[in-house]
Amino acid sequence: MALDAETRDQLVETVRRFVTERLRPLEAQVSEDDAIPDEVIEEMKALGLFGLSIPAECGGLDLGMEEEVLVALELGRTSPAFRSAFGTNVGIGAQGLVMFGNAAQKAMYLPGIASGEIITSFALTEPEAGSDSAAVQTRAVRDGDHYVLNGAKRYITNANKADLFTVMARTDPSKPGGGGVSAFLVERNLPGLSVGKPEKKMGQQGAHICDVIFDNVRVPVENRLGGEGEGFKVAMQVLDRGRLHISAVCIGVAERLIADCVAYASERKQFGQAISQFQLVQGMIADCKTESLAAKALTLETARKRDAGESVTMEAAAAKYFASEMVGRVADRAVQIFGGAGYIADYGIERFYRDVRIFRIYEGTSQIQQVIISRETLKRGG
């Protein structure tokens, strides 16, 4: 349900102020502590950030894709760990339920997800199933009115905070690839489910990823999402939306870095003048701005197409591919423009340089996006 223009603009402005006034001053602290303060999480809940994409009848803001992109752009202007705190509730951790859940499932979980009382997580990746997402080996065996899950998931975002997992598990081992995979809503407190300790990562301190282990976990049949064998379809449709969200975050980070570069280059003097006066520095700024504008135009156009009901599998992959590669180049140039100051922690540029590297990996690596783009282009005949 699209918001009217005035309400949408008010929401974007509110998020912009929250990012500028509340989140940005905490960036270094969150990185140092590897944790987001509890009071900030509560403020995010009060703002409705956990329910951006949840239907209004379930307590969410029910944003369309373009509206979500505009909000995600603002959230990209600070450390990505802040967005990650509620990102799975907005995206991959909840969208399977929004798109494919039945009325009872939605009534059971979506109000709590929208309020932030329930934290969600998306459990697809395994030790042998990452880019090859159809190679899921976690098993779900029907036993009366339950399925029994056994297996392990790896690098699962927000797993240590999650109350509810959307889990991809193989229900029919005789079917190769995605055809034998089903999706399940699995509650954290079920016996046999355990979560490993958070991994030490290159960047995005404050956002955690963990292993999730299933040891004879009994999941009620009514917690299956869709029919048996439809799990891969659930995952792919969820990822289409998630890729546009990540594209917007990448653009927001790029715009933040460009603004920081302009401010620094205008003050930093060498050879008797601000370094912004040197054409080679201007060239780097121009490349950053041009690429960020191109990514923004592609992402917004694709979001509008999705809101109009068009299939955007190829376009979403292209947006995510271009935006995530773009922000990596922008971060690299930012370090170069800041010089030695860009390499030390005080200015935060090296932190963003590390933070943005993961964007080229999750929600499908750049190479997987290339495969999708070429496949869909060939399918469409050009």
Chain-centroid distance of CA 4 in Å reads 26
- Residue 350 designated active-site: no
The set of residues, in sequence order, having a beta carbon less than 8 Å from that of 104 and lying 6+ positions away, is 222
Strand partners, 213: 152, 194
Q: Cite the DSSP H helix spans in the chain.
A: 5-17, 27-33, 38-47, 65-75, 80-90, 95-100, 103-115, 231-267, 279-307, 313-338, 340-343, 349-355, 366-380
Residue of 317, 127, 147, 138 whose CA lies nearest to 236: 317
Q: How far apart are CA 110 and CA 104, in angstroms?
A: 10
The set of residues, in sequence order, having a beta carbon less than 8 Å from that of 345 and lying 6+ positions away, is 28, 351
Q: What is the largest CA-CA distance in the chain?
A: 79
Residue of 245, 252, 248, 258 whose CA lies nearest to 331: 258
Q: What type of residue is 173?
A: P
Q: Which of 126, 291, 363, 376 is catalytic?
A: 363
- Asked if residues 158 and 165 have their Cβ atoms less than 8 Å apart, the reply is no
- Asked if residues 63 and 71 have their Cβ atoms less than 8 Å apart, the reply is yes
Based on its alpha-carbon atoms, the radius of gyration of the chain, rounded to whole angstroms, reads 21
The DSSP 8-state label assigned to residue 4 in this structure reads P
Strand partners, 193: 214
Q: What type of residue is 275?
A: I
Q: Positive or negative, the Cα torsion across 147, 152, 154, 160? A: positive
Tokens at 43, concatenated: 């403020």
Catalytic residues: 363
